[in-house]
Protein backbone atom coordinates (compact mmCIF):
# COMPACT_ATOMS: atom_id res chain seq x y z
CA UNK A 1 0.00 0.00 0.00
CA UNK A 2 1.42 3.37 -1.03
CA UNK A 3 2.00 6.01 1.62
CA UNK A 4 -0.48 8.91 1.45
CA UNK A 5 1.03 12.11 0.07
CA UNK A 6 0.16 15.33 1.91
CA UNK A 7 0.41 18.28 -0.48
CA UNK A 8 1.46 21.81 0.50
CA UNK A 9 -2.17 22.98 0.60
CA UNK A 10 -3.28 20.26 3.01
CA UNK A 11 -3.10 20.44 6.80
CA UNK A 12 -0.29 18.36 8.34
CA UNK A 13 -1.24 17.35 11.87
CA UNK A 14 1.46 17.94 14.48
CA UNK A 15 1.35 15.69 17.53
CA UNK A 16 4.40 17.02 19.43
CA UNK A 17 5.83 20.52 19.70
CA UNK A 18 8.70 22.31 21.42
CA UNK A 19 7.83 24.96 24.02
CA UNK A 20 10.50 27.33 25.32
CA UNK A 21 9.96 29.32 28.53
CA UNK A 22 12.60 31.57 30.07
CA UNK A 23 12.10 33.54 33.25
CA UNK A 24 13.50 35.83 35.91
CA UNK A 25 14.64 34.13 39.15
CA UNK A 26 12.06 32.93 41.66
CA UNK A 27 9.00 32.96 39.40
CA UNK A 28 8.28 29.24 39.59
CA UNK A 29 9.40 28.14 36.14
CA UNK A 30 10.22 24.65 37.45
CA UNK A 31 6.74 24.35 39.02
CA UNK A 32 5.27 25.57 35.74
CA UNK A 33 6.94 22.68 33.92
CA UNK A 34 5.15 20.15 36.12
CA UNK A 35 1.76 21.42 34.87
CA UNK A 36 2.49 19.95 31.44
CA UNK A 37 0.67 16.78 30.39
CA UNK A 38 2.11 13.67 32.16
CA UNK A 39 5.41 15.45 32.67
CA UNK A 40 8.82 14.04 33.47
CA UNK A 41 11.46 16.60 34.39
CA UNK A 42 15.13 16.17 33.52
CA UNK A 43 16.48 18.12 36.48
CA UNK A 44 19.86 19.30 35.16
CA UNK A 45 19.76 22.32 37.50
CA UNK A 46 18.95 20.08 40.50
CA UNK A 47 16.23 22.38 41.77
CA UNK A 48 13.10 20.21 41.50
CA UNK A 49 13.05 19.72 45.27
CA UNK A 50 12.23 23.40 45.71
CA UNK A 51 8.80 23.00 44.07
CA UNK A 52 7.36 21.26 47.16
CA UNK A 53 3.72 20.29 46.75
CA UNK A 54 3.72 21.61 43.17
CA UNK A 55 5.99 18.78 42.02
CA UNK A 56 3.35 16.67 40.33
CA UNK A 57 5.53 14.80 37.86
CA UNK A 58 8.44 12.37 37.77
CA UNK A 59 12.00 13.63 38.06
CA UNK A 60 15.36 12.46 36.72
CA UNK A 61 18.06 14.01 38.90
CA UNK A 62 20.78 14.31 36.29
CA UNK A 63 24.32 13.96 37.59
CA UNK A 64 25.88 13.18 34.22
CA UNK A 65 24.78 12.92 30.59
CA UNK A 66 24.68 9.11 30.78
CA UNK A 67 21.77 9.41 33.23
CA UNK A 68 19.73 10.70 30.29
CA UNK A 69 21.06 8.55 27.45
CA UNK A 70 20.53 5.38 29.50
CA UNK A 71 16.78 6.02 29.56
CA UNK A 72 14.98 3.82 27.05
CA UNK A 73 11.79 4.53 25.07
CA UNK A 74 10.10 2.08 27.44
CA UNK A 75 11.25 4.17 30.43
CA UNK A 76 9.67 7.26 28.85
CA UNK A 77 6.50 5.53 27.64
CA UNK A 78 4.30 6.64 30.61
CA UNK A 79 5.06 10.32 29.98
CA UNK A 80 3.75 12.72 27.33
CA UNK A 81 6.00 15.70 28.07
CA UNK A 82 9.74 15.92 28.72
CA UNK A 83 10.76 19.07 30.59
CA UNK A 84 14.40 20.12 30.21
CA UNK A 85 15.26 22.13 33.33
CA UNK A 86 17.34 24.00 32.42
CA UNK A 87 18.33 23.75 28.77
CA UNK A 88 21.54 25.68 29.45
CA UNK A 89 22.57 23.13 32.08
CA UNK A 90 21.71 20.33 29.64
CA UNK A 91 24.09 21.74 27.04
CA UNK A 92 26.81 22.05 29.68
CA UNK A 93 26.19 18.44 30.74
CA UNK A 94 26.76 17.26 27.17
CA UNK A 95 29.98 19.28 26.91
CA UNK A 96 31.23 17.91 30.23
CA UNK A 97 30.54 14.40 28.93
CA UNK A 98 32.55 15.07 25.77
CA UNK A 99 35.46 16.43 27.81
CA UNK A 100 35.93 12.94 29.24
CA UNK A 101 37.40 11.98 25.84
CA UNK A 102 40.98 13.24 25.51
CA UNK A 103 40.67 13.88 21.76
CA UNK A 104 37.93 16.42 22.48
CA UNK A 105 40.11 18.55 24.79
CA UNK A 106 42.51 21.33 23.99
CA UNK A 107 45.76 21.67 25.94
CA UNK A 108 44.11 24.21 28.27
CA UNK A 109 41.30 21.73 29.02
CA UNK A 110 38.67 23.54 26.98
CA UNK A 111 36.49 21.78 24.43
CA UNK A 112 37.86 21.76 20.88
CA UNK A 113 35.87 23.63 18.26
CA UNK A 114 34.98 20.37 16.48
CA UNK A 115 33.76 18.89 19.77
CA UNK A 116 31.59 21.94 20.39
CA UNK A 117 29.89 21.20 17.10
CA UNK A 118 29.47 17.60 18.22
CA UNK A 119 27.86 18.82 21.47
CA UNK A 120 25.29 20.85 19.53
CA UNK A 121 24.58 17.91 17.21
CA UNK A 122 24.21 15.54 20.19
CA UNK A 123 21.70 17.95 21.70
CA UNK A 124 19.65 18.25 18.50
CA UNK A 125 19.68 14.48 17.90
CA UNK A 126 18.33 13.83 21.38
CA UNK A 127 15.54 16.39 21.04
CA UNK A 128 14.62 14.98 17.63
CA UNK A 129 14.45 11.51 19.20
CA UNK A 130 12.01 12.77 21.84
CA UNK A 131 9.82 14.39 19.18
CA UNK A 132 9.90 11.18 17.11
CA UNK A 133 8.56 9.35 20.18
CA UNK A 134 5.62 11.76 20.22
CA UNK A 135 6.80 13.63 23.34
CA UNK A 136 6.17 17.32 23.76
CA UNK A 137 9.40 19.01 24.85
CA UNK A 138 9.53 21.98 27.20
CA UNK A 139 12.76 23.95 27.49
CA UNK A 140 13.14 25.91 30.72
CA UNK A 141 15.83 28.61 30.84
CA UNK A 142 17.02 31.45 33.04
CA UNK A 143 16.61 34.98 31.69
CA UNK A 144 19.55 37.33 31.31
CA UNK A 145 19.39 41.11 31.36
CA UNK A 146 21.43 42.88 28.70
CA UNK A 147 21.87 46.56 27.94
CA UNK A 148 21.60 47.85 24.37
CA UNK A 149 22.04 51.61 24.54
CA UNK A 150 19.27 52.90 26.79
CA UNK A 151 17.18 49.75 26.24
CA UNK A 152 17.21 46.79 28.66
CA UNK A 153 16.65 43.49 26.85
CA UNK A 154 15.62 40.18 28.43
CA UNK A 155 16.54 36.97 26.65
CA UNK A 156 17.52 33.38 27.48
CA UNK A 157 20.80 33.09 29.36
CA UNK A 158 22.63 31.16 26.64
CA UNK A 159 25.50 31.84 24.27
CA UNK A 160 24.57 33.52 21.01
CA UNK A 161 24.86 30.47 18.75
CA UNK A 162 22.90 28.19 21.09
CA UNK A 163 20.35 30.92 21.75
CA UNK A 164 19.62 31.35 18.04
CA UNK A 165 19.51 27.59 17.41
CA UNK A 166 16.99 26.98 20.20
CA UNK A 167 14.85 29.85 18.99
CA UNK A 168 14.85 28.30 15.53
CA UNK A 169 13.68 24.84 16.62
CA UNK A 170 11.07 26.04 19.15
CA UNK A 171 7.43 26.27 18.08
CA UNK A 172 6.47 28.71 20.84
CA UNK A 173 8.69 30.75 23.12
CA UNK A 174 7.68 33.02 25.97
CA UNK A 175 9.22 35.30 28.55
CA UNK A 176 7.82 34.75 32.05
CA UNK A 177 7.96 37.85 34.24
CA UNK A 178 5.95 39.81 36.79
CA UNK A 179 3.85 42.91 36.21
CA UNK A 180 1.92 45.22 38.51
CA UNK A 181 -1.84 45.11 37.95
CA UNK A 182 -4.19 48.07 38.11
CA UNK A 183 -4.97 47.05 41.68
CA UNK A 184 -1.29 47.33 42.61
CA UNK A 185 -0.78 43.58 42.91
CA UNK A 186 2.02 41.53 41.36
CA UNK A 187 0.98 39.00 38.73
CA UNK A 188 2.90 36.60 36.53
CA UNK A 189 2.54 36.78 32.78
CA UNK A 190 4.12 34.93 29.87
CA UNK A 191 4.65 37.10 26.81
CA UNK A 192 4.75 35.14 23.56
CA UNK A 193 4.82 38.25 21.39
CA UNK A 194 8.31 39.54 20.53
CA UNK A 195 9.09 43.14 21.45
CA UNK A 196 12.16 45.42 21.70
CA UNK A 197 12.45 44.38 25.37
CA UNK A 198 12.42 40.60 24.98
CA UNK A 199 12.62 37.70 22.54
CA UNK A 200 9.56 35.53 21.91
CA UNK A 201 7.86 33.36 19.30
CA UNK A 202 4.18 32.58 18.83
CA UNK A 203 3.48 30.01 16.12
CA UNK A 204 0.62 28.82 18.33
CA UNK A 205 -1.15 32.21 18.35
CA UNK A 206 -1.33 32.22 22.17
CA UNK A 207 -2.61 35.20 24.14
CA UNK A 208 -4.68 36.80 21.39
CA UNK A 209 -3.64 40.18 20.01
CA UNK A 210 -1.30 40.97 22.91
CA UNK A 211 0.38 37.57 23.00
CA UNK A 212 0.19 37.69 26.80
CA UNK A 213 -0.96 34.76 28.92
CA UNK A 214 -1.58 35.36 32.61
CA UNK A 215 -0.34 32.61 34.93
CA UNK A 216 -2.94 31.55 37.51
CA UNK A 217 -2.36 29.92 40.87
CA UNK A 218 -0.89 26.58 39.80
CA UNK A 219 -2.38 24.83 42.84
CA UNK A 220 -5.81 25.46 41.33
CA UNK A 221 -4.73 24.92 37.72
CA UNK A 222 -2.51 21.82 37.68
CA UNK A 223 -2.96 21.43 33.88
CA UNK A 224 -2.07 25.02 32.99
CA UNK A 225 0.90 24.31 30.69
CA UNK A 226 -0.78 21.20 29.26
CA UNK A 227 -3.77 23.31 28.20
CA UNK A 228 -1.49 26.01 26.78
CA UNK A 229 0.46 23.52 24.68
CA UNK A 230 -2.77 21.96 23.43
CA UNK A 231 -4.07 25.39 22.38
CA UNK A 232 -0.86 25.95 20.41
CA UNK A 233 -1.16 22.55 18.73
CA UNK A 234 -4.79 23.17 17.84
CA UNK A 235 -3.83 26.39 16.07
CA UNK A 236 -0.79 24.92 14.33
CA UNK A 237 -2.95 22.07 13.06
CA UNK A 238 -5.25 24.52 11.26
CA UNK A 239 -2.34 25.60 9.05
CA UNK A 240 -1.03 23.99 5.90
CA UNK A 241 2.70 23.21 5.83
CA UNK A 242 3.24 26.20 3.55
CA UNK A 243 1.37 28.55 5.88
CA UNK A 244 3.20 27.25 8.94
CA UNK A 245 6.59 27.55 7.22
CA UNK A 246 5.83 31.13 6.15
CA UNK A 247 4.64 32.11 9.64
CA UNK A 248 7.73 30.63 11.28
CA UNK A 249 10.04 32.21 8.69
CA UNK A 250 8.56 35.66 9.28
CA UNK A 251 8.83 35.31 13.07
CA UNK A 252 12.42 34.15 12.72
CA UNK A 253 13.21 37.15 10.50
CA UNK A 254 11.86 39.53 13.14
CA UNK A 255 13.93 37.81 15.82
CA UNK A 256 16.95 37.97 13.53
CA UNK A 257 16.52 41.72 13.06
CA UNK A 258 16.34 42.09 16.83
CA UNK A 259 19.46 39.96 17.35
CA UNK A 260 21.36 41.97 14.74
CA UNK A 261 20.34 45.25 16.38
CA UNK A 262 21.62 43.93 19.72
CA UNK A 263 25.02 42.89 18.31
CA UNK A 264 27.82 45.04 19.73
CA UNK A 265 31.05 43.31 18.70
CA UNK A 266 32.52 41.23 15.89
CA UNK A 267 32.11 38.14 18.10
CA UNK A 268 28.33 38.74 18.10
CA UNK A 269 28.35 39.00 14.31
CA UNK A 270 30.36 35.77 14.04
CA UNK A 271 27.84 33.93 16.20
CA UNK A 272 25.03 35.19 13.98
CA UNK A 273 26.97 34.21 10.85
CA UNK A 274 27.33 30.66 12.20
CA UNK A 275 23.63 30.52 13.00
CA UNK A 276 22.32 31.76 9.65
CA UNK A 277 20.77 29.12 7.40
CA UNK A 278 21.30 29.68 3.67
CA UNK A 279 18.20 27.57 2.93
CA UNK A 280 15.94 29.81 5.06
CA UNK A 281 13.01 31.41 3.27
CA UNK A 282 14.23 34.84 4.38
CA UNK A 283 17.96 34.19 3.99
CA UNK A 284 18.63 37.18 1.72
CA UNK A 285 16.83 39.60 4.04
CA UNK A 286 18.64 38.14 7.05
CA UNK A 287 21.98 38.52 5.30
CA UNK A 288 21.21 42.17 4.49
CA UNK A 289 20.42 42.85 8.18
CA UNK A 290 23.68 41.23 9.27
CA UNK A 291 25.85 43.16 6.80
CA UNK A 292 24.09 46.43 7.62
CA UNK A 293 24.76 45.95 11.34
CA UNK A 294 28.40 45.17 10.59
CA UNK A 295 28.69 48.46 8.72
CA UNK A 296 27.11 50.34 11.62
CA UNK A 297 29.64 48.80 14.01
CA UNK A 298 32.54 49.47 11.64
CA UNK A 299 33.40 45.76 11.49
CA UNK A 300 35.10 44.28 8.45
CA UNK A 301 34.97 40.70 7.14
CA UNK A 302 38.39 39.05 6.99
CA UNK A 303 38.25 36.49 4.15
CA UNK A 304 41.44 34.75 5.26
CA UNK A 305 40.14 34.22 8.78
CA UNK A 306 36.57 33.80 7.48
CA UNK A 307 35.37 35.97 10.33
CA UNK A 308 34.22 39.46 11.21
CA UNK A 309 36.83 41.61 12.96
CA UNK A 310 36.32 44.62 15.20
CA UNK A 311 37.39 48.05 13.92
CA UNK A 312 40.83 49.19 15.07
CA UNK A 313 40.84 51.01 18.38
CA UNK A 314 40.40 54.77 17.98
CA UNK A 315 43.63 56.67 18.62
CA UNK A 316 42.83 60.37 18.85
CA UNK A 317 45.01 63.45 19.02
CA UNK A 318 46.80 64.21 22.28
CA UNK A 319 46.59 67.64 23.92
CA UNK A 320 49.76 68.90 22.24
CA UNK A 321 48.61 67.77 18.78
CA UNK A 322 45.23 69.44 19.32
CA UNK A 323 46.94 72.70 20.34
CA UNK A 324 49.27 72.57 17.32
CA UNK A 325 46.34 71.86 15.00
CA UNK A 326 44.40 74.80 16.43
CA UNK A 327 47.41 77.03 15.74
CA UNK A 328 47.67 75.60 12.22
CA UNK A 329 44.02 76.54 11.59
CA UNK A 330 44.48 80.06 13.04
CA UNK A 331 47.52 80.72 10.87
CA UNK A 332 45.42 80.08 7.77
CA UNK A 333 42.72 82.51 8.79
CA UNK A 334 40.13 79.83 9.50
CA UNK A 335 38.00 79.03 12.53
CA UNK A 336 37.37 75.67 14.14
CA UNK A 337 33.64 75.59 13.34
CA UNK A 338 34.26 76.10 9.61
CA UNK A 339 36.97 73.43 9.55
CA UNK A 340 34.80 70.90 11.39
CA UNK A 341 31.86 71.49 9.05
CA UNK A 342 34.19 71.05 6.08
CA UNK A 343 35.59 67.81 7.46
CA UNK A 344 32.17 66.52 8.60
CA UNK A 345 33.14 66.44 12.29
CA UNK A 346 31.52 67.65 15.49
CA UNK A 347 34.89 68.41 17.09
CA UNK A 348 38.61 68.25 16.33
CA UNK A 349 38.95 65.52 18.96
CA UNK A 350 37.27 63.11 16.51
CA UNK A 351 40.37 63.18 14.27
CA UNK A 352 42.55 60.07 14.42
CA UNK A 353 46.23 60.75 15.08
CA UNK A 354 47.39 58.72 12.07
CA UNK A 355 45.18 60.82 9.77
CA UNK A 356 46.57 64.19 10.98
CA UNK A 357 48.83 64.79 7.92
CA UNK A 358 45.95 64.13 5.53
CA UNK A 359 43.66 66.39 7.60
CA UNK A 360 46.18 69.23 7.38
CA UNK A 361 46.23 68.86 3.59
CA UNK A 362 42.43 69.17 3.55
CA UNK A 363 42.64 72.29 5.74
CA UNK A 364 45.24 73.78 3.36
CA UNK A 365 42.84 73.12 0.50
CA UNK A 366 39.98 74.79 2.38
CA UNK A 367 42.17 77.81 3.11
CA UNK A 368 43.07 78.22 -0.59
CA UNK A 369 39.42 77.90 -1.62
CA UNK A 370 38.43 80.52 0.98
CA UNK A 371 41.11 82.97 -0.25
CA UNK A 372 40.15 82.51 -3.89
CA UNK A 373 36.55 83.33 -3.06
172-182 pLDDT tens trace: 999 999 988 77
CB neighbours (10 Å) of residue 1? Answer: 3
261-290 pLDDT tens trace: 888 888 889 888 888 888 989 999 999 999
Q: Tell me which range, 14-23, 150-159, 333-342, is most confidently predicted by mean pLDDT.
A: 14-23
Dist CA 206 CA 194 (whole Å): 12
Among 21-35, 163-177, 309-323, the range scoring the smallest mean pLDDT is 309-323
**Burial group, residue 191, by CB count within 10 angstroms (0-12, 13-18, 19+):** buried
CA angle 328, 330, 331 (to 5 degrees): 65
Whole-number percent of the chain with pLDDT over 70 = 95
Is it the case that residue 357 has pLDDT exceeding 70? yes
Q: Report the pLDDT value the prediction gives residue 265, as an integer from 0 to 100.
A: 86
Q: Report the pLDDT value the prediction gives residue 141, as an integer from 0 to 100.
A: 93
Domains parsed from the chain with CATH numbers? 18-238 (3.40.50), 240-310 (no CATH), 319-372 (no CATH)
Dist CA 257 CA 159 (whole Å): 17
**Burial group, residue 149, by CB count within 10 angstroms (0-12, 13-18, 19+):** exposed
Is it the case that residue 161 has pLDDT exceeding 80? no
Is it the case that residue 130 has pLDDT exceeding 90? yes
Q: Tell me which range, 7-11, 24-28, 86-90, 156-160, is most confidently predicted by mean pLDDT.
A: 86-90
Amino acid sequence: MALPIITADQVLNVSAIITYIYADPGLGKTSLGFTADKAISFDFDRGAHRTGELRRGAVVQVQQWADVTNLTPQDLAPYNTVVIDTVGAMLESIKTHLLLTANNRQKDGALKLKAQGLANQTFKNYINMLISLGKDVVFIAHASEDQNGDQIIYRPDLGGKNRNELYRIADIMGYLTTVTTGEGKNARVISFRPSPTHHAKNSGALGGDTGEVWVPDLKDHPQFLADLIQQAKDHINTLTPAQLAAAKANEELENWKQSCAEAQYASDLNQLTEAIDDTHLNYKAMRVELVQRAKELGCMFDKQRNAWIDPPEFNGLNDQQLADLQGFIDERGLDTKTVCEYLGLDALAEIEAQKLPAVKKDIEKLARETISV
